[in-house]
Structure 1
Amino acid sequence: MRSPNLAFGKLIAGLRQSVGLSQEELAERANIHRTYVSQIERGLKSPTLVTLLRLSSALETTPSKLMRQLESELGLQPGQP
């Protein structure tokens, strides 16, 4: 299975780019450090629940939409870990 951290990072980077934000702008909107955004996007860090909420708000989406996209990217079906 593909790394969830890498898949989540790719998802965040794609969404950030689609709304035309730099890593610095996303970090400012989410009230997190720019280097942390970079680490998330490269799959080096796994965000906390609070960070997930901040990122989703900054990207004008919901945590549940992010998770559904991640599940789809990972090819997860209901009932799979």
Structure 2
Amino acid sequence: MAEAAPQLEQAARDLAAGRVSELLAPVHQLKGASAQLGLSAFADVARTLEQQVRLPNPQAAAVQPGFDKLRAMFTTFAAIYPRFLPPPAA
């Protein structure tokens, strides 16, 4: 999930430019990574967003709410996750 922040930023730019299909790869990767970490709610949102992006001719306006939810969840995860990591070795 370390590379997720830049991927989400690029996905936001793609979505703003109407390149909805460009969201498929990063959303798919986030879905898999979050599922492996046991973040089922995050994976569910990513799965739903992926399904929306896979629809024929997906529209940015239809995808935006799900993308915003995914970004908000990631922001929360990124703020909390470091607390669960062991301290660096001395």
Q: TM class, shorter-chain normalised? A: 0.3 to 0.5
Higher normalized contact order (CA 8 Å, seq sep 6+, divided by chain length)? 1
By percentage of residues, which structure has more helix?
A: 2
| TM-score, normalised via structure 1 length | 0.40
Larger Rg: 2
